[in-house]
């Protein structure tokens, strides 16, 4: 798996290009045919999970020493981008596996890494991330979920909201307050298993888009877990959560990039076939200018996203700014490009007979989750390059 990190402005290697071909073929053959039904039925894309696991593309970020592919950050971006090009719901499988497990990789003990990364790498388990709560969204440090020490155990109580792939994932990184007096420095991170007594889930949210990826509340009712399931030292959970997002916001940029590219690709084909006034509508300058602007913005988003992936791989000091910038810019581009794709298809674009209306609905979430784009601008303003 691709692992070249000696770069400044990232240029994908031949290995990355070959990976893209493999993922694109897989996505078009195994995932795209089910995308409309997954959306229509609001069902989990099991076909996508099976195909990704069969080709070891479900969690490519897991290091080789724990049984994973050891893919670098750009390779992970490419996998997510190419899956999102045909089905954003399915792209949340590799994306959320990284989001959920990265805290363990960044801050967990060797014992935790060996215990949980192996099943993830094999495809025997999925990983989710539990940060947000009903009253703690953008202000995540205001969470109320508590973890109380009881001998060699911690007992967790609380509710987590907007948890992607909840109920499907076997493992959950859960942030909980261990010292209420210290606010963000009193938050710790834990691994909770779906099978732990006291873990349950709310009904799936009825969403505008990404309907194939279940979003549910996670209820923690006196969930008693061994003390060695704490990720890192007590009180470091919030710092780990924020460090994780610095890296994984780039995967949201990748989703946005993929769905934008998928919409452009479909629109390009359509305008060459659709005829009005005696010629393809793609021959009209107004349409050509729209396509040119869409392609230009996608390419700008791609360069920003790939450069951020390079910084993620190296752990550069300006990663916080670059990750937020990539996520914010790419998701704004995705919303604009998918909306323009619907416009280019006219009335047909507004129907479910064509994929661009689904792409437009799916694109919207990239401006919201892992920090709204308003929050991304706050993050960027606080971390302006020097």
Q: Which domains does the chain have, with CATH numbers?
A: 14-122 (1.10.540.10), 127-235 (2.40.110.10), 238-382 (1.20.140.10)
Residue 152 has pLDDT above 60, yes or no: yes
Tell me how far apart the alpha carbons of residues 305 and 299 are, in angstroms, rounded to a whole number: 10
| pTM, full prediction | 0.96
Of 267, 361, 260, 242, nearest to 305 (Cα)?
A: 260
Band the pLDDT of 12: cuts 50, 70, 90.
confident
- Burial zone of 165 (CB within 10 Å; 0-12 exposed, 13-18 middle, 19+ buried): buried
- Burial zone of 7 (CB within 10 Å; 0-12 exposed, 13-18 middle, 19+ buried): middle
Of 334, 336, 328, 320, nearest to 376 (Cα)?
A: 328
User: Cβ atoms within 10 A of the Cβ of 184, count?
Assistant: 16
Tell me how far apart the alpha carbons of residues 53 and 133 are, in angstroms, rounded to a whole number: 31
Q: Are 176 and 146 in contact (CB under 8 A)?
A: yes
Torsion angle of the four alpha carbons 18, 24, 25, 29, in this order, in degrees rounded to the nearest 10:
160
Q: 188 pairs with which residues across the strands?
A: 176
Q: What is the reported pLDDT for 8?
A: 44
Tell me how far apart the alpha carbons of residues 152 and 256 are, in angstroms, rounded to a whole number: 43
Tokens of 221: 């009712």
Share of the chain above pLDDT 90, in %: 96
Torsion sign, CA atoms 247, 251, 253, 257: positive
**Catalytic residue chosen out of the listed positions 81, 133, 313, 370:** 370
Q: Whole-number mean pLDDT of the chain?
A: 96
Band the pLDDT of 9: cuts 50, 70, 90.
very low
Alpha carbons within 13 A on the beta-carbon side of 315: 3
Q: Which residues contact 245 (CB under 8 A, 6 or more apart)?
A: 323, 370, 371
For 42-79, write each residue's pLDDT tens digit.
Answer: 999 999 999 999 999 999 999 999 999 999 999 999 99
Pick the residue with more confidence: 292 or 6? 292
* Whether 370 is catalytic: yes
Torsion angle of the four alpha carbons 65, 66, 69, 74, in this order, in degrees rounded to the nearest 10:
-90
User: Cβ atoms within 10 A of the Cβ of 41, count?
Assistant: 11
Q: What is the reported pLDDT for 10?
A: 58
For 185-243, write each residue's pLDDT tens digit.
Answer: 999 999 999 999 999 999 999 999 999 999 999 999 999 999 999 999 999 999 999 99
């Amino acid at each position: 798996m691709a692992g070249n990190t000696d770069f400044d402005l990232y240029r994908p290697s031949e290995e990355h290009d070959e990976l893209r071909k493999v993922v694109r073929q897989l996505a078009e053959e195994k995932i795209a045919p089910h995308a409309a039904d997954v959306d229509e039925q609001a069902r989990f894309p099991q076909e996508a999970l099976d195909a990704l696991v069969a080709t070891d593309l479900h969690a490519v970020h897991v290091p080789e020493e724990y049984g994973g592919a050891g893919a670098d950050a750009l390779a992970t971006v490419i996998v997510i981008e190419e899956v999102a090009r045909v089905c954003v719901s399915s792209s949340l499988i590799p994306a959320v596996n990284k989001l959920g497990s990265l805290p363990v990789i960044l801050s967990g003990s060797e014992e935790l890494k060996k215990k949980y990364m192996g099943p993830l790498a094999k495809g025997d388990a999925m990983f989710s991330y539990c940060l947000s709560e009903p009253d703690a969204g953008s202000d995540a440090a205001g969470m109320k979920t508590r973890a109380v020490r009881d001998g060699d155990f911690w007992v967790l109580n609380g509710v987590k909201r907007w948890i992607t792939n909840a109920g499907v994932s076997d493992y959950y990184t859960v942030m909980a307050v261990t010292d209420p007096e210290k606010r963000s420095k009193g938050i710790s991170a834990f691994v909770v298993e779906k099978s732990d007594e006291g873990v349950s889930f709310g009904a799936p949210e009825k969403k505008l888009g990404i309907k194939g990826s279940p979003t549910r509340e996670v209820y923690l009712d006196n969930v008693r877990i061994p003390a060695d399931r704490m990720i890192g030292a007590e009180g470091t959970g919030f710092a780990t959560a924020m460090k994780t997002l610095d890296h994984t916001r780039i995967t949201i940029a990748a989703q946005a990039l993929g769905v934008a590219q998928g919409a452009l690709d479909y629109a390009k084909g359509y305008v060459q076939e659709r005829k009005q006034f005696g010629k393809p509508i793609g021959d009209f300058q107004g349409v050509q200018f729209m396509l040119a602007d869409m392609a230009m913005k996608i390419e700008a988003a791609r360069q920003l996203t790939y450069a951020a992936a390079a910084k993620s791989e190296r752990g550069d000091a300006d990663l916080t700014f670059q990750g937020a910038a990539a996520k914010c810019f790419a998701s704004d581009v995705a919303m604009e490009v998918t909306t323009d794709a619907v416009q280019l298809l006219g009335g047909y674009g507004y129907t479910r007979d064509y994929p661009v209306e689904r792409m437009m609905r799916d694109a919207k979430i990239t401006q919201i989750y892992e920090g709204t784009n308003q929050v991304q601008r706050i993050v960027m303003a606080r971390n302006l390059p020097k």
